Amino acid sequence: MVFQDFPTQHRLVPWLLVMVNILGIGVGYAISIILARSLSLHQFEQYIGTIATLGLLGTLAEAGFGKYALKIVPIYQAHSSFGLMKGYLRFAGWGCLILSIALGLLAAAIEVPLRAGAGREVMLIALICLPCIAGAGVAIDMLLAFRLATTATVLARILVPLTTLGLILLVLSISEINPYRAVLCFSIGSMLGLAMAVAMCARLTGGLLTGVNAEFQSREWVLQGFSFLAFGFMTSWLFKATLVLLHHLPHPSDQLALLAPAFETGCLILLLSKSTDKYFQPTMAIIIDGADWAQGVSLRNQRFAVLSGGICLFLLIVFCFGKQILRIYGEDFVGAYPALCLIALGSSLWTLFSLAPAFLLFAGQRRALLLSLLGHGIALAILTIGLFRVYGITGAATAYMLAIGSLALVNFQLANRTLARMRLVPAKPPADAALEDRK
């Protein structure tokens, strides 16, 4: 049930995921446009900064549990190691809950005293909801690990944001929307996603794990999960740092609000890579485990074919209709068109090569990957602060494009070199040792 015929799936499912993401993009756009038109620029900036900060904290709170599941759960399934699977599911659930609560308390102790009035209330409600948001991310990754890519994508990209949109419209029909209520609507959507994902995982694993004694390799899971946590956090930092830094640093009034729609629009193409990458990652883990490089190269080529057409269409729309798109948010936002184009270029380059970091991580090239991410993360922060002070939001967008574009190309080169070395090593026969994570 979990592992179906690879060739048929890999031809059809990515295109289905593309269509689901297009629908999700429409829902996400509706949320942003409604809020941009309903809130003042200052309130919209407050909402955007809080959500960006919450997203970054959520990645930390997930602690790599879901990302590591994309590698290890398919292998446990393939080797019928149901005791270890049951143990890891429990370990990941409790670990995410405990860590998210601790992180929320720490963030509240730092953030809340720095803010006053409405800003404090907005940040506080966001931090209270952090465990649900982090838990939803881990639970949805578990669905992906069980090869339910379409189900997980529909849940994350359509049902959750559609719930948020419905709640915002409900608030507007009754009263006025404000940043506090908008963040609350966002959080309730994540709560629904968490409940549905947990219920689906329980139903999926009930027959497999009933009566099975849980086995734990906590030390190994913590060590391996730390690499995935570092990878997940650094990746999240690279795509959220621009908004988070502008939110927390002194800046001209409403600049963050003006940049946010351009940033959201320019990063829309990332949804394509996120959904297709998480679909391919469980299969990639099995391919690496069995050294089936011919299958791996075939999947890579199919993925390029899916993504390249979508990227070209996306860039054409941005360059030709970017101003009209920004005008939907309001006339004030049209001035961010140059920033939109720069962000779209960087995001497109990352999307094309976005599977390379996961390949490096699965192949045991953690040090090289983390050094690349760390170096580019630091460079992004330095460039953003420096260029934003001189060139405003166009400078911040330039910093993003340079850092993300360079990171994508460096990771692609590292992945190609790693694959070339691995293809020279004879394949090992399947064995229980395959369950042990490569150092």
Q: Is residue 433 part of a domain?
A: no
Contacts 24+ apart (CB under 8 A), 315-322: 315/344, 315/345, 315/348, 318/265, 318/266, 318/344, 319/344, 322/265
CA angle in degrees (0–180, nearest 5) for 65-71-75: 120
CA 318 to chain centre: 22
In angstroms, the Cα distances linking 317 to 273, 275, 310 are 18, 21, 11
Q: Is residue 437 part of a domain?
A: no
What letter would DSSP give residue 64?
A: T
Q: Is residue 232 part of a domain?
A: yes
Cα distance between residue 173 and residue 195, in whole Å = 27
Q: Are the C-beta atoms of 13 and 279 separated by less than 8 Å? A: yes
Per-residue pLDDT of the chain (439 residues; tens, 9 = 90+): 333 444 444 455 556 666 777 787 788 888 888 998 888 888 888 888 888 888 888 888 887 788 778 777 878 877 777 788 888 888 888 888 888 899 888 888 887 777 666 777 888 888 888 898 888 888 888 888 887 777 887 888 888 889 999 999 999 988 888 888 999 999 898 899 899 988 888 887 776 677 777 777 778 787 777 777 777 778 778 888 888 888 777 766 678 888 888 888 898 888 777 766 766 666 676 777 666 667 667 777 777 777 888 888 899 999 999 999 888 888 888 888 999 999 999 999 998 888 888 788 777 787 888 888 889 999 999 999 989 988 888 999 999 999 999 999 999 899 888 888 877 765 555 444 444 444 4
Q: Is residue 283 part of a domain?
A: yes
Cα distance between residue 171 and residue 188, in whole Å = 13
Q: Which amino acid, 64?
A: G
Token duo for residue 355:
């599977």
Q: Is residue 430 part of a domain?
A: no
| pTM for the predicted model, two decimal places | 0.70
Q: Is residue 438 part of a domain?
A: no
Q: Is residue 429 part of a domain?
A: no
Token duo for residue 358:
């996961």
Domain that holds residue 314: 6-424
Domain count, the chain: 1
Q: Is residue 414 part of a domain?
A: yes
